[in-house]
Structure 1
Amino acid sequence: MNGHDAVLADLSLEISATDLPLVPTIAAHVQPGTRIHVTALGTESPDSRRATASELVAHGLTPVPHLAARRFTSPTELEDAVSGLAHASAQRSVFVIGGDPRRPAGPYSSARDLIESGVLARHHVADAGVGGYPEGHPDIPDEVLWAELAAKVSALEVQGISPSISTQVCFDADVLLAWVAELRQRHIWAPVRVGAPGPMGVARLLGFAKRVGIGSSAGLARKYGTSIGSMLGTAGPDEFLSAVQDGLDPRVHGDVSMHLFTFGGVRATLDWLAARP
């Protein structure tokens, strides 16, 4: 592992329940115990996520199933979801998000509501991740984001659950590092997992970039540091990772590792990892 791969030492990956058949392949390419997030897509059922989490356990990996607060219609449905994970020995690590629906399907309007329900502690969740927004949120003021993040971390710690923070996709290493530095200045020292896309087609990567206000391939190259020679090519996170690693100062930034979204496909991300020196 070279110097720029230090942030990959505790790498986590993100998959969906449709990737269940690839779990043996994932296990063959990553270290035992690697944290594998299982997203909470509205098109997939809790049963399929639980089956994927169970398969990850069977292959010596650490599943991190996502719990989307606004998707749960009742406390009973939430309880059943977490207890089902517990029965599969897959509830030790979870990631709590608000979820896509603007209007809650039940009593939980935010990740904080779900955390404060106490359901995680009742089922012996050991650690829980929450989301961070280095480049802000289009609908939520920055100070509200900071206040909510602090409240979620505190609510987990009070219940004896170790918190961590996984960021949304960020394309600018300088912005990311400044955000982590501010996080520490606000006395939030939970470990941070930097969210970055795995390798994917340039056209698709640009589509994701446009969602955070990067409207051109030149702008993406300038922020993300990747070389974009053709819209038909593929771009990976190598230069972004190097820029993050170069700028990290443990005294300022604390515990920082990498979280890769496999938007371009699990196999492409695994091939990229295998090709690293």
Structure 2
Amino acid sequence: MAVVSRPDAGLPRAGRAQLAAALRDATYEVLPFKTAEDKVLADVPTDVALTVTTTEAKGLGPTVDLAVRLTAAGYRAAPHLAARLVRDRAHLADLVAQLREAGVDRVFVIGGDAAEPAGDFTDALGLLEALDEMGRPFSTVGIGGYPEGHGSIADELVERALEAKAEHATQVITQLCFDAATTVRWARTAYERGVTLPVRVGIPGAISRQKLIRVSAGLGLGQSARFLKKQQNMFWRFFLPGGYSPDKLIQQLTPAFGVPGSGLEGLHVFTFNELDTTEAWRQRWLARLP
């Protein structure tokens, strides 16, 4: 896979230190496919925290099961809890009990893309409020941020929802955005509107185009179509000779890390389960940074 020979060249000293900290503390997102657990165990150090996605086609079961197994293996794994797939409060209580019994102490709460809710919960806010009423059973609660908008929900509604959800959460993880200036501008606006939670910027891992095709097919046609609708400028970037490297995006984001009022304090890597190349990419950066 082709990468820039010295992607850290030209970064100021302060920026290099901030980036090194962000890369050391980066989190990885994995898809709950059959081979995911073996790939994590083979390629990812246990000090890298993980999130496990939920797909509409597979439901919550594989997500929760994988998060439980990875936690037992020594990882900090947070399942995506998609509100529209949770039937009712009893179902939520069962999920919480299963996770807490397994030692899972973090979750990422989303609304989910199911066309129709499975029951009582129609959005992430309702599920977050229910978790609060249960005594806030998780120490780390992530919510989603949308620098380029949601695709099917008006921007103002998305931002008002973020403000409402923020008081029930501990961090924001953004969706993929390939324009660093857009992400920085969105984060500053959110901060000015009172969302002062730490923001983890969602970036792609080092991904081959062949792998992306396979993962996209595995998501199912409906899920992939909605994903493409929300990330209209995404897929073509991966269809470069050899695949995609996030080096340029990292370079452009670095000056904003740790700047007061920016909110940007970490990285969240969408690996598409290409964990070996993504971890090798992260280690190459760390080897060059203080």
Question: How much does 1:45 deviate?
Answer: 5.2
d(CA) in 1 for partners of 2:151, 2:52: 25
Moved more, 76-85 or 188-197: 76-85
- State the AA in 2 paired with 1:186: R
d(CA) in 2 for partners of 1:112, 1:150: 10
Question: How much does 1:214 deviate?
Answer: 2.7
- State the AA in 1 paired with 2:231: V
The secondary structure found in structure 1 opposite 2:68 is helix
d(CA) in 2 for partners of 1:165, 1:246: 19
**TM-score normalised over the length of structure 2:** 0.78
1:183 is aligned to 2:178: no
Question: How much does 1:64 deviate?
Answer: 0.8
1:223-242 deviations in Å (ceiling 9; x for gaps): xxxxx8x7441211111011
Shift of the 40–214 alpha-carbon distance from structure 1 to 2, 3 Å rule, reads closer
d(CA) in 2 for partners of 1:194, 1:52: 24
Aligned residue pairs total 257
1:172-230 deviations in Å (ceiling 9; x for gaps): 0000001111111112110111111111235849x97785333895xx5xxxxxxx8x7
Shift of the 275–249 alpha-carbon distance from structure 1 to 2, 3 Å rule, reads closer
Q: Assess if the C-alpha contact under 8 Å between 2:131 and 2:137 holds in 1.
A: no
In the other structure, the counterpart of 2:108 is: 95
Question: Alignment partner for residue 208 of structure 2, among 179, 185, 201?
Answer: 201
d(CA) in 1 for partners of 2:61, 2:187: 35
Shift of the 180–88 alpha-carbon distance from structure 1 to 2, 3 Å rule, reads same
The secondary structure found in structure 1 opposite 2:260 is helix
1:124-152 deviations in Å (ceiling 9; x for gaps): 21120000000112221221111111111
1:87-106 deviations in Å (ceiling 9; x for gaps): 1111x110000011122111
1:14-53 mapped onto 2 (5 Å cutoff): 14-18=29-33, 19-26=36-43, 29-30=44-45, 32=47, 34-44=48-58, 46-53=60-67
1:67-146 mapped onto 2 (5 Å cutoff): 67-90=81-104, 92-118=105-131, 121-122=134-135, 124-146=137-159
1:63 is aligned to 2:72: no
Q: Assess if the C-alpha contact under 8 Å between 2:96 and 2:137 holds in 1.
A: no
The secondary structure found in structure 1 opposite 2:170 is strand
Unaligned runs of 5+ in 1: 157-161, 221-227
d(CA) in 2 for partners of 1:81, 1:129: 17
In the other structure, the counterpart of 2:11 is: none
Unaligned runs of 5+ in 2: 1-7, 9-15, 214-223
d(CA) in 1 for partners of 2:82, 2:70: 20
d(CA) in 2 for partners of 1:165, 1:233: 31
Q: Assess if the C-alpha contact under 8 Å between 1:196 and 1:237 holds in 2.
A: yes
Q: Assess if the C-alpha contact under 8 Å between 1:199 and 1:264 holds in 2.
A: no
**TM-score normalised over the length of structure 1:** 0.82
User: Which structure is richer in relative contact order (CA contacts within 8 A, separation 6 or more)?
Assistant: 2
The secondary structure found in structure 2 opposite 1:125 is coil
Question: Alignment partner for residue 171 of structure 1, among 168, 178, 183?
Answer: 178
d(CA) in 1 for partners of 2:108, 2:228: 24
